[in-house]
Amino acid sequence: MGGRMTSFVVHQMTSCMETYTIPQNINAVYVQATSFPNGVMAAHKQLHAKVAAGNGRRFFGISYPNEKGGIIYKAAANELHPGEAGELGLETFTIRKGDYISEVLTDWCTQEGKIKDIFQQLLQHAKVARDGYCLEEYINDRDVRLMVTLG
């Protein structure tokens, strides 16, 4: 990413759900939660202790089912330059470019329980990719865009 700003395309679907396009792959560094949902906050705290905000840094949550029916969760941030993951001692994940069904949750800290409900609604979309994942993009301290990969 190198600090370049990228544009995103939003297509309105309903009053809440919309198609959101990520125009290019995003290389991300991450800390995997030890459990879901209990380990999510700790993973984000570990990530924030290693990566600084600012300079175009974006923060994400990435989740998908494992083979045992549980959830794998990764607290992630975009890699600002090639090799940053190695410098920080973190693993990488590529957030795929393409279309996502999405909804923005405002003031998410006071409505944290709604995240699960919105993801369940998004996963009902007819075109959800079978090999996709759930993606949270923290827009600012209050708002989060919740997305599910479309196929």
Q: What is the pLDDT of residues 1-31, one digit of tens each?
A: 344 444 444 444 444 788 999 999 999 999 9
Unique residue bearing structure tokens 């809440």 = 16
Burial of residue 14 (CB within 10 Å: 0-12, 13-18, 19+) is exposed
DSSP 8-class letter at 150: B
> What's the farthest any 2 CA atoms get from each other in the chain?
43
Residues with Cβ < 8 Å from 107, sequence gap 6 or more? 142, 143
CATH number attached to the domain at 9-149 = 3.20.80.10
Q: What is the pLDDT of residues 35-87, one digit of tens each?
A: 999 999 999 999 999 998 888 899 999 999 998 889 999 999 999 999 999 99
Round to whole Å and give the CA distance between 117 and 140.
Answer: 21
CB 17 within 8 A of CB 10: no
Beta-bridge partners for 150: 128
CB 75 within 8 A of CB 31: yes
pTM summary value: 0.84
Sorted by where each begins, the domain ranges of the chain are 9-149
